[in-house]
Structure 1
Amino acid sequence: MTHAPLRILLLCHSFNSLSQRLFCELRALGHEVSVELDIADRVTEEAIELFRPALVIAPFLKRLIPASVWQRQPCLIVHPGPVGDRGPAALDWAVREGHADWGVTVLQANEAFDAGPVWAHAGFAMRAAAKGSLYRCEVTAAAVDAVLRSVTQFAAGGTCGGRPEPQRASIWRSPLRQAERRIDWSGDTTATVLAKIRSADGQPGVHDELFGQPCHLFDAHAATSHAFATSPPGALIGRRDGAVLRRTTDGAVWIGHASLAAACGGKAFKLPCELAFGAAFEALPALPVPLERASDEWGEIRYRELGAPGARVGCLSFEFYNGAMSTAQCHRLLTAWRDATSRDTRVLMLLGGADFFSNGIHLNCIEAAAHREGDSAADESMRNIEAMDDLAEAVIRTTDRLTIALLRGNAGAGGAFLALAADEVWAHRGVVLNPHYKNMGNLYGSEYWTYLLPRRLGAEGAVALMAGRLPMGAPQALSIGLIDRCMGVAAPDFEALAITEAIALAAAHNIDDRITAKGRRRANDEEKRPLADYRRLELSRMHRNFYGFDPSFHIARYHFVHKLPMAWTPRHLARHRDGLKAASAE
């Protein structure tokens, strides 16, 4: 770092994936970073008084920064649109209109939305994907580039590359209305339907009907290799992996998730269509596909093999919406893992999704259980964590080949520890990990973390990591030994490079010796303390979280599922409030 470190306050509506990535990147450069959630003007003003930052950066806001703040000191806004684009629905419009290129602009806050002087901008090529996926990947990468250049320029007194320039022209984009997203099933092509649903993915979804029930649609994918001619446009054709297949004018789309108030006692939130519609969903014909199939045939789990005979590499990939893993998804992935271990491979790779490797148990599905007769959120929580444990144990006990967890996207909570179940964990430089559980209602955690984490960090290091509760970039995770490789490539190039490296590993002269040593180490560990002991300890603590007198997990889960705004900034993020905490304790 060529300039003195800055004191930087991140001001954000929520500590989302972009905010976390910037938090990690800025801290890695030596800046002192604290976070304040945008709860109220007076709270933001208090944060400024306490922290006295040199610079405020707002990666994700839903309202204007108060004049009492931006008039006092520089505040940089991250806008997910090119220079001159203004308004709260920039990315929605870009996806809906099918733009080939888009960008991110860093501008200085003033009295109007997205109207201030421009400090930096970065462009990127759009791909055919949901708004949320673009935000987590291309937008985040461009934002990091533009923000770091802006910080460098600010630290140099605004002279590095020139001072910020005023916007000379702009276009205001109002929020996309449901009328502009409405699907005409009798006239819309597959491409049009996908653009409409993908432009609303995350929030607010597209208002429509399924099985005669009003709902909002999310998580759409193009369908291939089916005979659609016998079904009229709009017809529901079949089901797969919790999704429904619906006819368009020139094909069909898979719809993975929907929200409808009728499913959960009047409170709508996203659920797999399988859970949202129950018996009506099950009445559709099942349309399963093999694990090994064409790359354009949608399904949540797939498998492929590469490499020469005797040195094969298996690639088992799973793409679960938002990284959440329901009980049913864990069961399906465990079945696929067992199938993959029956193949003649020397290296077996577990690849999570492009946006998320995994975020652990499926909180929305657990919330839905609270509204089912004869079921409960606690019961579904226990079923889900048991299923996650079964999967992690299967990976740990695979001793006849080397296993690698490939983090193409971020990993959190149980998903981070599922990755550690593999022999090695590889990631690219843009991955963010949250290897802890306490942020979700003080969960103790499972997935054999009490076995896996001390092996890498030692007992004291494991305790410190779990108590820290902060996001960690892949370079930092590599530096402490949490992961094994951090490849210095951008996300789009990572998978191909990693597979090339895995093929070389499978063909290495010492591969058999490594596998033998791995099996011996696992046997020694089992003799010292069986895996079953770790599982019993962890699940006894989780049982207390789910069924005990402290409702923290259930409250935190409810707030997460229903997107309730935070009432305060957690103290592990708002480091500028440490002094208040100490003063109140005296």
Structure 2
Amino acid sequence: MRILLLCHSFNSLSQRLHVDLRRAGHEVSVELDIHDDLTREAVALFSPHLIIAPFLKRPIPADVWRRTLCLIVHPGIRGDKGPSALDWAILESEARWGVTLIEAREEMDAGPVWAWREFPMRPARKSSLYRREVTEAATACVFEALGRIERGEGPVMPANWGRGRERSACRKSDRMLDPALHSAEEALRIIRASDGDPGALLTIVGQTFLVFDAEPAEGLAGPPGTLVGRSRQAVAMAFREGALWVAHLRRPEARSLKLPALRLLGVDADVLPIVARPQPCRYREENGVGVLEFRFHNGAMSSEDCDILREAIVTAKARALPVLVLQGDADCWSNGIHLGIIESADSAADESWRNINAMNELVREIIVTDDRLVIAAVLGNAGAGGVFLSLAADEVWMREGVILNPHYKDMGNLYGSEYWTYLLPARVGEDRARRVMQARLPMGIDEALEFGLATRRLPGNIDAAEQVLHRAVAELAASPELAGRIAAKQARRGRDEAEKPLAAYREEELRRMRRNFYGFDPSYHVARYNFIRKTPKSRTPLTLAIHRATGDEADRGRTMR
């Protein structure tokens, strides 16, 4: 079946559907919802059997949905209507929520229902619920609808009705925090409902900011609205009852940058007491295995973040255990260097250089670990340098449903480092390495296993994935073959170093990266600026829009095999 994905942006859900639909044998093309005339043109060029809209902010033109079946993913339960469905579900503490797949009609969110799913709500950020529960439910709905279409069946309901109701978009006042009025618990709910976009409004030391990435500050209190502590770049603010750690802020202006709180506040950090809070890296030992869990907001890793994780690995390596697990967050494993901090620096080129070198030091620390096996537990999506961070481990155990973007070129033809010229060909071979880096397409678990970017499949359910992971690494640690595998690893690393030192790979990569950062071609800086400030796209990349591509571009958009 020819399926056109029509989306405001090629977000995580759109990528998941792109991967899974192509894997199921469908011919899939993507058109970004830039202008109605471009949508009409895409339909004329591709002649799709079906249009799926995973993420839209505008209605589909009536002349399009009247001619071609259009199914819209609505992140709400049956009967729910309106543009802030998931936001309201969090704000109103819904115990269960869901996804409804609705056929386009004149009235938004009111057409026939083709499939629906519900799930229990977690106390989590909107983006976390979207990446996990909403994505899984939406994917299941789409494939149920495809089954109905292929069997010649119609929708399951003639219109969208149920226990949900029509609600307007969340207003600015719905997202405004008042420390004197709100408890920390109430404020946290508003921040979580506003996570990602547009953020919750809060006045801090006389300045208004949009707040993101908050968590309870246990044991802290003070006059409402006062800052009562700091930890790294986060600050703790007191509310009517309790306090919250606020880790990221953005000024309420168009195209402003989301940055670590202390970077934007401009307050004298020394006047705030340093208070312990949950750290981004947590190490524990169980069943003879060292487990290092880490989480960085949206997978972006600054120079400081890279240093923190590297130091945590060094500390873990001081323990004489035969297996070390690097377990990333279930929302994002890593997306590589921190483009926001780079964009905000006095010299973006200098900060880019500092960040990529810190990332390289981190990757090298993993590569040279030759006295144990290192397992990268990739439970969340990964992109760019984050993919190659995982390849530095001996094995990559990847959760079903995770999406990888193992390429740099969409960021202004960035060459990339993180020792990828050593790690990737060693895993997949020279020919496949070239195809992976040129394809610029998202990759799921099946392709990752086929290409060698993953070595073991974990269940899609997060809890089940963690159970299987911890049971399997305990078995690995107890295996009589482990000592032989570690010895073989040491010998292989020695041969590789003798043939071509790691320093040589790094020098060659950084020579190319220096041109990206400091050279006459500004492509990287322009692409970074547009990406981090969410500049609207003026066209759909030809690797995605195969209906607009020709020759090699179309081939890369159809397959990487």
1:195 Cα shift? 0.2
Is 1:487 aligned with 2:480? no
Q: 2: CA distance between counterparts of 1:478 and 1:246?
A: 45
Match of 2:250 among 233, 254, 259: 259
**Residues 266-275 or 125-134, more deviating:** 266-275
- Equivalent positions of 1:162-561 (< 5 A) are 163-168=156-161, 171-224=165-218, 226=219, 228-229=220-221, 231-260=222-251, 268-288=256-276, 298-307=278-287, 312-369=288-345, 375-561=346-532
The code of the aligned residue for 1:258 comes to: L
CA RMSD of aligned residues (A): 1.7
- Equivalent positions of 1:146-165 (< 5 A) are 146-158=141-153, 163-165=156-158
**Conserved in 2, the CA contact under 8 Å of 1:417 and 1:452?**
yes
1:315 Cα shift? 1.1
**Conserved in 2, the CA contact under 8 Å of 1:82 and 1:121?**
yes
Q: 1: CA distance between counterparts of 2:251 and 2:522?
A: 26
Which residue of structure 1 aligns with residue 58 of structure 2?
Answer: 63
Q: Secondary structure at the match of 1:221?
A: strand
**Conserved in 2, the CA contact under 8 Å of 1:241 and 1:299?**
no
**Conserved in 2, the CA contact under 8 Å of 1:456 and 1:482?**
yes
1:276 Cα shift? 1.5
1:168 Cα shift? 4.1
Which residue of structure 1 aligns with residue 559 of structure 2?
Answer: none
TM-score (normalised: structure 2): 0.96
Which residue of structure 2 aligns with residue 128 of structure 1?
Answer: 123
C-alpha spacing 1:430/1:176, structure 2 compared with 1 (3 Å): same
The code of the aligned residue for 1:215 comes to: F
The code of the aligned residue for 1:172 comes to: E
1:326-376 CA distance string (max 9 Å, x none): 11111111111111111122111111112000000111101100xxxxx31
**Conserved in 2, the CA contact under 8 Å of 1:246 and 1:252?**
yes
1:94-148 CA distance string (max 9 Å, x none): 0111111000000100112111100000111100001111001110011111111
1:22-45 CA distance string (max 9 Å, x none): 111101110010100000010000
**Conserved in 1, the CA contact under 8 Å of 2:109 and 2:160?**
no
**Conserved in 1, the CA contact under 8 Å of 2:3 and 2:26?**
yes
C-alpha spacing 1:29/1:267, structure 2 compared with 1 (3 Å): closer
Is 1:51 aligned with 2:46? yes
The code of the aligned residue for 1:165 comes to: P
1:283 Cα shift? 3.7
Q: Secondary structure at the match of 1:523?
A: helix
Q: 1: CA distance between counterparts of 2:247 and 2:553?
A: 48
Is 1:24 aligned with 2:15? no
The code of the aligned residue for 1:280 comes to: D
1:565 Cα shift? 0.7
**Conserved in 1, the CA contact under 8 Å of 2:330 and 2:380?**
yes
1:582 Cα shift? 8.9
Match of 2:541 among 570, 578, 581: 570
Q: 1: CA distance between counterparts of 2:110 and 2:191?
A: 29
**Conserved in 2, the CA contact under 8 Å of 1:244 and 1:281?**
no
The code of the aligned residue for 2:260 comes to: P
Aligned residues: 553
1:196-218 CA distance string (max 9 Å, x none): 10010001111112232211111
Q: Secondary structure at the match of 2:108?
A: coil
1:248 Cα shift? 2.6
C-alpha spacing 1:52/1:368, structure 2 compared with 1 (3 Å): same
TM-score (normalised: structure 1): 0.92
1:280-299 CA distance string (max 9 Å, x none): 345422224xxxxxxxx622
Q: 2: CA distance between counterparts of 1:60 and 1:127?
A: 22
1:163 Cα shift? 4.9
C-alpha spacing 1:147/1:73, structure 2 compared with 1 (3 Å): same
**Residues 491-500 or 527-536, more deviating:** 491-500
**Conserved in 1, the CA contact under 8 Å of 2:546 and 2:553?**
no
1:261-304 CA distance string (max 9 Å, x none): 69xxx95221011322245345422224xxxxxxxx62222111
Segments of 5+ residues of structure 1 without an aligned counterpart are: 1-5, 289-296, 370-374
1:6-34 CA distance string (max 9 Å, x none): 10000000000000001111011100101
**Conserved in 1, the CA contact under 8 Å of 2:201 and 2:209?**
yes
Which residue of structure 2 aligns with residue 293 of structure 1?
Answer: none
Q: 2: CA distance between counterparts of 1:145 and 1:345?
A: 41
1:64 Cα shift? 0.1
1:581 Cα shift? 9.5
**Residues 192-201 or 275-284, more deviating:** 275-284
C-alpha spacing 1:125/1:168, structure 2 compared with 1 (3 Å): closer
Q: 1: CA distance between counterparts of 2:347 and 2:494?
A: 38
Q: 2: CA distance between counterparts of 1:233 and 1:488?
A: 44
Q: Secondary structure at the match of 1:238?
A: strand
Q: 1: CA distance between counterparts of 2:513 and 2:228?
A: 40
**Conserved in 2, the CA contact under 8 Å of 1:11 and 1:35?**
yes
1:165-196 CA distance string (max 9 Å, x none): 32346622211112122222123222211101
The code of the aligned residue for 2:241 comes to: D
**Residues 242-251 or 433-442, more deviating:** 242-251
Q: Secondary structure at the match of 1:471?
A: coil
The code of the aligned residue for 1:321 comes to: H
Q: Secondary structure at the match of 1:103?
A: strand
Q: Secondary structure at the match of 2:168?
A: coil
1:376-427 CA distance string (max 9 Å, x none): 1111111111110000000001111110111110000000000000000001
1:519 Cα shift? 1.0
Q: Secondary structure at the match of 1:482?
A: coil
